[in-house]
Each structure stands twice: as structure tokens, then as C-alpha cells.
């Protein structure tokens, strides 16, 4: 398929397709970064594994009524997606304390939240993705109140669906990050990826970390963890 590189992010490339103006190609790279790009390495096979994992999850969510950008898998590392304009708000949903919830608020890692915590981060590499509130979103004109209500509602619905999906595969969904976009009709749909780069997943029995924290904190066995997730999902 003829294509033009539109955007290269830390873990993915987005291409436009001259023959299909309403579509993009999303390609998953082996590159991994953490701490806003401070730590940078390649994880062997990550592109292939995340494309596979993300495809499985997006198909599942769509079967359960979540609107997403996913169209079809094109190759080992590529998917065809609907063209969207990304809303510059990263939505994090947390079920169990880990990561910045521990650092910022003093929860003990592993503490189960009585109800999910939804947080918003300003998607801005220059500013280091700061935590912010809906009022900042409105002041910066990143999304309307109706859009933010829908984004929160979709996030909580996705959380419910994913908690069930992962628990059936003996995994605890600790937390995850979502990105939404506007399609050509201005509708809010789920975009980006859902993978061990963007979720924390622990083995249900042993609490072994099977996600990007193995890379962030040099725990070893990074590729093996991603392979284990892919295996449990297929």
C-alpha cells in the first residue's frame, strides 16, 4: 500500500494512505522509552507482540460496543485504522495502586481501590505530560464538556470490559492509559493502542509484573513478559 509518513512517536509510526483518505496505517516499533524519553532501548519483537495484543483487545472492545479506530490487521506490525485527530488528553484509569499513584499519594503498592480512579494528563512531550483537571482541558480548549463526559463514560465501560477480559486470562488489570480521537464526523472514538506498554498487568496468582515496568525498572525478562501476555490472549 502506497503511504506517507505523517508522524513518528516513541513507539509507533502513523502513515497516511493516498488511495484511502479516511484511513491511516499504525505501525508498532520495537523502540521503548520511559520517563519521558530519558531511558531508551529496543525490546526485541515488541512491535509484533504489541500489534497482536492491541488487535485482540480492540476487536474484543468493538464486539462489546466500544467505538474505536481499528479497521483491520495488515501485517505483523501494522494495522489499518480510521483517520482521527487525537484529543491531547491521556486518560489513565487505575484499579490497584502502582506507579505514580504510589509516588504521588503514598498508597502502598498493590492496594485495591474501592472504585476506579480516572486521571487526565496533558499530552505534551515538551511539558512532560502533566497531570491536570477537566477545567484545564476546557481552558486549553482540548475538548468540550460533552466530549469529556463521553470520554469518562467510555473509559469506565472499557475498564469494566477489560477487568473481565484479563481476569479470565489470570491477569490483574492494575491500571492503563487510553487516548481518544475525533473521526471525520467529529465523533469521539478510542484510538492509539492497548498493550503492555500502556497497561500494568500482574499475574493473578503471583502478582508477577508482566508489562513495561520490567523495562522501566530493569526487572529483566521484558520480551518474555510481553510474549506471555500475547500467549494468554490468543
Q: Quick one: which of 99, 150, 203, 233 contacts ligand TMP (CB under 6 A)?
A: 99
Of the two residues 125 and 153, which places its CB atom closer to ligand TMP in the complex? Answer: 125
Q: Quick one: which of 20, 73, 157, 216 contacts ligand ASP (CB under 6 A)?
A: 216
CB of 100 to ligand TMP, least distance (A): 4
Q: Identify the residue whose cell numbers are 500475547.
A: 230
The set of cell numbers assigned to 108 is 502502598
The set of cell numbers assigned to 86 is 487525537
Instruction: Output the CA torsion sign for 125, 127, 128, 133.
Output: negative
Q: Which of residues 175-214 bind ligand ASP (CB under 6 A)?
A: 212
Of the two residues 23 and 87, which places its CB atom closer to ligand TMP in the complex? Answer: 87
Q: How far apart are CA 216 and CA 103, in angstroms?
A: 15
Q: Identify the residue whose cell numbers are 506490525.
A: 77
Q: Which of residues 176-205 bind ligand TMP (CB under 6 A)?
A: 176-177, 198-200
CB of 38 to ligand ASP, least distance (A): 7
Q: Quick one: which of 32, 49, 89, 92 contacts ligand TMP (CB under 6 A)?
A: 92
Widest Cα–Cα separation across the chain: 52
Instruction: Describe the chain by its helix, strand, coil percentages, rounded to 5.
Output: 30, 35, 35
Exposed, middle or buried: residue 67 (CB in 10 Å: 0-12, 13-18, 19+)? middle
Q: Quick one: which of 27, 78, 147, 175 contacts ligand TMP (CB under 6 A)?
A: 175
Q: Quick one: which of 5, 6, 9, 36 contacts ligand ASP (CB under 6 A)?
A: 36
Binding site for ligand TMP (CB under 6 A): 92, 99-101, 129, 175-177, 198-200
Amino acid at each position: 500500500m502506497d503511504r506517507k509518513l505523517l508522524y513518528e512517536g516513541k513507539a509507533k509510526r502513523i502513515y497516511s494512505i493516498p488511495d484511502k483518505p479516511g484511513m491511516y496505517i499504525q505501525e508498532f516499533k520495537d523502540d521503548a522509552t520511559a520517563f519521558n524519553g530519558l531511558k531508551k532501548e529496543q525490546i526485541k519483537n515488541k512491535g509484533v507482540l504489541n500489534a497482536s495484543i492491541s488487535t485482540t483487545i480492540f476487536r474484543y472492545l468493538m464486539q462489546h460496543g466500544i467505538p474505536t479506530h481499528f479497521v483491520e490487521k495488515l501485517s505483523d506490525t501494522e494495522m489499518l485504522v480510521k483517520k482521527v485527530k487525537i484529543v491531547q488528553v491521556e486518560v489513565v484509569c487505575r484499579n490497584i495502586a502502582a506507579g505514580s499513584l504510589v509516588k504521588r499519594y503514598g498508597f502502598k503498592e498493590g492496594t485495591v481501590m474501592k472504585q476506579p480512579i480516572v486521571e487526565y494528563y496533558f499530552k505534551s512531550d515538551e511539558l512532560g505530560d502533566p497531570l491536570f483537571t477537566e477545567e484545564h482541558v476546557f481552558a486549553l480548549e482540548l475538548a468540550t464538556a460533552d466530549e469529556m463526559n463521553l470520554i469518562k463514560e467510555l473509559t469506565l465501560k472499557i475498564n469494566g470490559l477489560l477487568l473481565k477480559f484479563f481476569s479470565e486470562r489470570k491477569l490483574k488489570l492494575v491500571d492503563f492509559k487510553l487516548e481518544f480521537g475525533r473521526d471525520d464526523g467529529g465523533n469521539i472514538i478510542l484510538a492509539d493502542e492497548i498493550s503492555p506498554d500502556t497497561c500494568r498487568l500482574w499475574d493473578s496468582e503471583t502478582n508477577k509484573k508482566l508489562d513495561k515496568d520490567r523495562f522501566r525498572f530493569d526487572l529483566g525478562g521484558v520480551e518474555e513478559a510481553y510474549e506471555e501476555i500475547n500467549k494468554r490472549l490468543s
